[in-house]
C-alpha cells in the first residue's frame, strides 16, 4: 500500500473515533508519527523474518463497533465452554470492547483497576507510553493512536499472587476489525501479582487482527508472573508488545504458549533498570498448517547484578514457520550480569521452517552471557528405544514430541494454565497418550 | 526359543556378522562373549529390530516365527526384550509413564486389559525393591541424570516389568561396581524359569560368576568360534580371547 493510501485509511479510521478520544493531542501525534513512518517492512532488520503486509493490505477497521447482543451471547457461551476457569478478577474483551457483564473486578484488595473511558489520564503517553521506543516498535504508535479499551492496573502489597488477574480477548463477531487494546500494570514496591492473558476465537468469527500493547512497571522487590495462552483461530492475525521495566530486586516470569493465528508477532522488551532485577522468559510455540509465529525478545541489562533467561521451544509441522530472535544488551557499567538464552526447535515436516537468531550487544566485561540454539528432527535413537519397548512408531513420535514440549509446559506454575497447555498438546498429539491415563 | 541360522549382517556397507548360527532353547541362559568389535552388540541390535542394520542372509526364528519380518515394537510385544548397552536418555518422558505405556502396549497386543495406575504401582513395587530403586525415580525423566549403574538397573527393572520370553542383555554388566553388579545379577536370576530364555552379551566373566550360564559362546570375526559350558567363561577369563581366535583360524 502506498503512503498516501495508508494515510487516507488512517484518517478515515480516525474520524470514527468518539469525539472525546479524537481530540486527545497525544493520539493525533502518534497517528501522525505512524502515518509518516508506515508499517515496518522486511527491509528493517527487526522485521526481517515477518512480513506485515497482511496487516497493512487488510485495511482493517481500527475502531471496532460495539458487539451486538447476539455476539455477546456467543461470547458468553464461548467463555463458559472454553475459558480457563480461574478464580479472581477478570476483564473480558469481546471484539475489543470490555464486556461488563462477563467481567468482574474491583473487589480484590490490593488491585486497583480502571478502564480508559473512566481514566484517560492513566493512558496518556506521559504516564507510561513514553517507555516504549516507537523507533523499534512502531505498532505501539498505532495502538496509541487508536486505543480505546484496556485496563490500568495498580498492584499494591496486599494483592495475593495466588489469585491471578485474567484478561480474556475474544474474537466473536462476523465483522472484520483490529482492536488496539492497552494494558498498563504498575506494581508497587514489594507487590506480587499473577496475570493471565488468554486469546480465544469463536469458530465463526471474522478474520481479525489484534494489536495488543502491555506495559508493566515493576517497583523495587515486586514480583510478577505473566502467562499467555494464545488460541486464536487459524486465520487470525496477532501482534503484541510486552514492555516491562524492572526496579531493584524486582522479578518477572513470563511464559508464552502460542498455538493459534495465521500471522503472529510477539515482541517482548524487558529493561532491567536497577541492580538485582531478574527476568525469566519462556515459551512454547506449536506451529502447523501455514502458521507464522515470530517471538522477538530484547532484554536490556541497564544495571549491575541483573539476570535474565529466555528459553523458547518451537514445534513446526506442515508448512509452519516459527521464528525466535533474542537480543541481550548489557550496558556499560552493568557488571556481574548473567544472561542466558536458549532456543530449541523441533521440525516435524520437511516443509516446516524454524529460524533462530541470538544477538549479544555487550558493553561490560565482568559478565556471563550464554546462548544456545538447536533445531532438529526427532532423535532416531530415542525413537528406537521406545519402539524396542513396544510403542509403535506414531506413538513413539508423539511421545517424544510431547516430551519436547513438556519441558516448557512444566515451567507453568499455575495449575489451571498448565492443564490448559497440556490439553493443547493432547489435542495436537492424540497418539501420545492414547489409552493411557496421565501421570 | 531362538534359532539363528547363518546370519549375515552389514552395517554401513561393512560386513559384521558373517554366518552366525546360535540356538537358545527355552529355559536356558546363554552367554555370548567375544573381543571388542566381534559383532556382539550388532547381534543384539539386530534381534531388537534396528533398521539401519542390514541383514543380507540367514534366518532368525523366535518361538517358531520369523523374527526378521516383525517391526521392533512387534518383537517387543511378542516378548523380546533388549537391555541396551547405552540406555537412551529421554528428557520429558518419565520412567513411570514409559514403563506403563510399554506394559500396556504389550498387554493390548496380547488381548489383555491395560493396567491402571493403581495396579501398575502394585506390580512395580516389589521389583523396585529388588533393584534397590527408590520411589522418586518413577517421576524422573528416563535415564536423564542417571549414573551408569542406575541406567543399567533401570534396564533390568523394565525387563522385570515386561516379563519377556527372551531377554537379550547387551553389556548390562559394563560400568557397574560390585554392589550394582550383584543387584543386576539378582534381577536376572529372578526371571530364570522353564519358559524364559536369556542371552547375556558380555566380554567380562565376572557377571557369569553371579548368573551362571547354561552355555557360553565365543564370537570371533562375526561367527561363533567356540561353544561350551560355564567353564569356558572361566577359561576365557584366565587365557583371554587369542587362543580361541587362533584355534578358529586353524580349523
% of residues, chain B, pLDDT over 70 = 98
pLDDT at B87 over 80: yes
Tell whether A319 is within 8 A of chain B (Cβ). no
B91 → chain A, closest CA residue:
A403
CB contacts of A392 in chain B (<8 Å) are 71, 73, 105
Nearest to A382 among B88, B96, B106 (CB): B88
What does the DSSP 8-state code read for residue A44? S
CA geometry: angle B178, B225, B30, nearest 5 deg: 45
Task: Tell me what pLDDT residue A128 has.
Answer: 47
- A-B interface: how many C-beta pairs under 8 angstroms? 88
pLDDT tens across B187-203, in order?
999 999 999 999 999 98
A78 phi and psi, to 5 degrees?
A: -60, -45
pLDDT at A435 over 70: no
Residues contacting residue A129 through CB under 8 Å, at least 6 positions apart: A26, A123, A140, A144, A215
CB contacts of A436 in chain B (<8 Å) are 97, 100-101, 104, 114
What mean pLDDT do residues A159-182 have?
96
Cβ distance B73 to A435 less than 8 Å, yes or no, reads no
Cβ distance A385 to B87 less than 8 Å, yes or no, reads yes
Q: Which of A110-124, A363-377, A403-417, B137-151 has the lowest mean pLDDT?
A: A110-124
pLDDT tens across A230-246, in order?
999 999 999 999 999 99
Task: Tell me what pLDDT residue A120 has.
Answer: 74
Q: Which residue has the higher pLDDT, A125 or A422?
A: A422
As for the ipTM of the complex, it is: 0.96
Chain B: closest CA distance from residue A405 (Å): 8
pLDDT tens across A183-200, in order?
999 999 999 999 999 999
Average pLDDT, chain A: 92
For residue B112, how many other CB atoms are within 10 A of its CB? 11
Cβ distance B108 to A435 less than 8 Å, yes or no, reads yes
Q: Which three cell numbers stand for residue B198?
A: 536369556
Contact A246, A189 (CB under 8 A): no
Residue A133's Cβ-side half-sphere holds a number of Cα atoms within 13 Å equal to 11
For residue A77, how many other CB atoms are within 10 A of its CB? 12
Cβ distance A437 to B116 less than 8 Å, yes or no, reads yes
Q: Which residues in chain A (399-428) have CB-CB distances under 8 A to chain B?
A: 399-400, 402-407
Does this model's pTM top 0.95? no
Which of A342, A385, A436 should be substituted to probe chain B, the one whose Cβ sees the most B Cβ atoms within 10 Å? A385
Tell whether A350 is within 8 A of chain B (Cβ). no
Q: Which three cell numbers stand for residue A396?
A: 513413539
For helices B178-189 and B117-130, the axis angle rounded to 10 degrees is 130
pLDDT tens across A213-229, in order?
999 999 999 999 999 99
pLDDT at B36 over 90: no
Separation CA A285–CA A297 (nearest Å) = 14
pLDDT tens across A6-65, in order?
999 999 999 999 888 888 888 888 899 999 999 999 999 999 999 999 999 999 999 999
What stretches of B49-122 adopt beta strand conformation (E)?
53-62, 65-66, 80-83, 90-94
- Grade residue B18 by pLDDT with cuts at 50, 70 and 90: very high
Task: Tell me what pLDDT residue A278 has.
Answer: 98
pLDDT tens across A276-300, in order?
999 999 999 999 999 999 999 999 9
Cβ distance A386 to B104 less than 8 Å, yes or no, reads no
| B148 to A114, B90, B129, B144: CA distances (angstroms) | 59, 15, 19, 11
Average pLDDT, chain B: 93
pLDDT tens across B131-189, in order?
999 888 888 999 999 988 899 999 999 999 999 999 999 999 988 999 999 999 999 99
Determine the number of helices (DSSP H) and then strands (DSSP E) in chain B: 9, 12
- By three-state DSSP, how is residue A191 classified? coil
Q: Which residue has the higher pLDDT, A377 or A437?
A: A377
Tell whether A383 is within 8 A of chain B (Cβ). no
Amino acid at each position: 500500500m502506498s503512503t498516501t493510501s495508508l494515510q487516507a485509511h488512517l484518517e478515515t479510521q480516525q474520524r470514527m473515533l468518539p469525539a472525546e478520544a479524537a481530540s486527545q493531542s497525544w493520539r493525533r501525534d502518534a497517528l501522525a508519527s505512524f502515518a509518516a513512518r508506515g508499517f515496518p517492512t522486511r527491509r528493517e532488520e527487526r522485521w526481517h523474518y515477518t512480513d506485515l503486509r497482511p496487516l497493512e493490505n487488510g485495511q482493517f477497521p481500527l475502531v471496532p463497533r460495539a458487539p451486538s447482543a447476539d455476539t455477546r451471547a456467543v461470547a458468553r457461551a464461548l467463555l463458559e465452554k472454553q475459558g480457563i476457569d480461574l478464580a479472581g478478577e477478570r476483564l473480558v474483551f469481546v471484539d475489543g470492547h470490555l464486556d461488563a457483564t462477563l467481567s468482574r473486578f474491583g473487589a480484590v484488595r490490593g488491585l486497583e483497576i480502571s478502564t480508559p473511558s473512566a481514566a484517560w489520564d492513566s493512558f496518556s503517553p506521559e504516564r507510561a507510553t513514553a517507555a516504549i521506543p516507537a523507533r523499534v516498535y512502531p505498532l505501539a504508535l498505532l495502538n496509541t493512536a487508536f486505543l480505546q479499551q484496556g485496563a490500568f492496573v495498580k498492584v499494591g502489597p496486599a494483592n495475593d499472587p495466588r489469585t491471578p488477574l485474567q484478561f480474556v480477548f475474544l474474537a466473536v463477531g462476523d465483522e472484520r476489525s483490529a482492536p488496539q487494546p492497552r494494558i498498563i500494570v504498575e506494581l508497587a514496591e514489594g507487590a506480587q501479582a499473577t496475570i493471565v492473558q488468554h486469546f480465544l476465537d469463536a469458530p465463526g468469527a471474522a478474520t481479525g487482527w489484534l494489536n495488543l500493547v502491555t506495559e508493566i512497571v515493576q517497583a523495587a522487590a515486586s514480583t510478577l508472573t505473566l502467562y499467555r495462552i494464545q488460541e486464536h483461530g487459524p486465520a487470525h492475525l496477532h501482534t503484541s508488545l510486552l514492555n516491562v521495566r524492572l526496579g531493584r530486586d524486582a522479578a518477572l516470569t513470563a511464559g508464552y504458549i502460542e498455538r493459534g493465528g495465521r500471522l503472529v508477532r510477539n515482541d517482548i522488551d524487558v529493561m532491567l533498570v536497577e541492580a538485582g532485577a531478574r527476568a525469566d522468559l519462556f515459551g512454547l510455540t506449536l506451529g502447523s498448517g501455514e502458521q507464522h509465529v515470530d517471538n522477538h525478545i530484547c532484554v536490556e541489562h541497564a544495571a549491575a547484578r541483573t539476570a535474565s533467561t529466555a528459553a523458547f521451544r518451537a514445534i513446526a509441522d506442515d508448512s509452519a514457520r516459527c521464528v525466535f530472535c533474542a537480543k541481550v544488551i548489557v550496558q556499560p557499567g552493568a557488571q556481574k550480569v548473567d544472561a542466558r538464552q536458549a532456543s530449541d526447535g523441533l521440525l516435524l515436516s520437511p516443509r516446516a521452517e524454524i529460524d533462530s537468531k541470538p544477538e549479544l550487544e555487550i558493553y561490560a566485561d565482568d559478565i556471563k552471557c550464554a546462548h544456545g540454539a538447536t533445531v532438529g528432527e526427532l532423535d532416531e535413537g530415542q525413537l528406537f528405544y521406545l519402539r524396542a519397548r513396544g510403542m509403535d512408531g506414531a506413538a513413539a513420535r508423539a511421545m517424544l514430541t510431547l516430551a519436547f514440549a513438556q519441558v516448557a509446559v512444566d515451567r507453568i506454575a499455575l495449575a489451571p494454565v498448565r492443564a490448559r497447555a497440556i490439553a493443547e498438546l493432547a489435542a495436537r498429539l492424540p497418539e501420545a497418550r492414547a489409552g493411557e491415563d496421565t501421570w | 526359543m531362538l534359532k539363528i541360522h547363518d546370519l549375515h549382517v552389514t552395517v554401513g556397507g561393512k560386513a559384521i556378522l558373517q554366518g552366525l548360527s546360535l540356538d537358545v532353547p527355552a529355559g536356558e541362559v546363554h552367554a555370548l562373549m567375544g573381543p571388542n568389535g566381534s559383532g556382539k552388540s550388532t547381534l543384539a541390535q539386530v534381534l531388537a529390530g534396528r533398521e539401519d542394520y542390514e541383514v543380507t542372509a540367514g534366518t532368525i526364528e523366535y518361538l517358531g516365527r520369523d523374527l526378521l519380518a516383525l517391526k521392533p515394537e512387534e518383537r517387543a510385544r511378542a516378548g523380546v526384550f533388549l537391555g541396551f548397552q547405552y540406555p537412551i536418555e529421554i528428557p520429558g518422558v518419565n520412567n513411570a509413564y514409559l514403563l506403563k505405556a510399554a506394559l500396556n502396549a504389550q498387554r493390548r497386543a496380547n488381548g489383555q486389559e491395560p493396567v491402571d495406575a493403581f495396579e501398575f504401582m502394585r506390580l512395580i513395587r516389589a521389583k523396585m525393591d529388588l533393584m534397590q530403586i527408590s520411589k522418586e525415580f518413577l517421576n524422573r525423566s528416563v535415564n536423564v541424570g542417571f549414573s551408569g549403574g542406575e541406567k543399567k538397573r533401570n534396564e533390568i527393572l523394565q525387563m522385570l516389568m515386561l516379563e519377556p520370553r527372551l531377554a537379550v542383555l547387551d553389556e548390562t554388566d559394563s560400568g557397574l561396581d560390585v554392589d550394582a553388579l550383584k543387584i543386576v545379577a539378582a534381577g536376572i536370576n529372578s526371571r530364570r524359569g522353564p519358559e524364559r530364555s536369556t542371552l547375556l552379551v558380555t566380554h567380562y566373566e565376572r557377571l557369569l560368576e553371579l548368573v551362571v550360564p547354561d552355555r557360553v559362546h565365543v564370537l570371533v570375526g562375526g561367527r561363533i568360534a567356540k561353544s561350551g559350558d560355564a567353564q569356558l567363561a572361566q577359561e576365557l577369563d584366565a587365557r583371554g580371547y587369542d587362543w580361541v581366535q587362533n584355534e578358529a583360524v586353524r580349523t
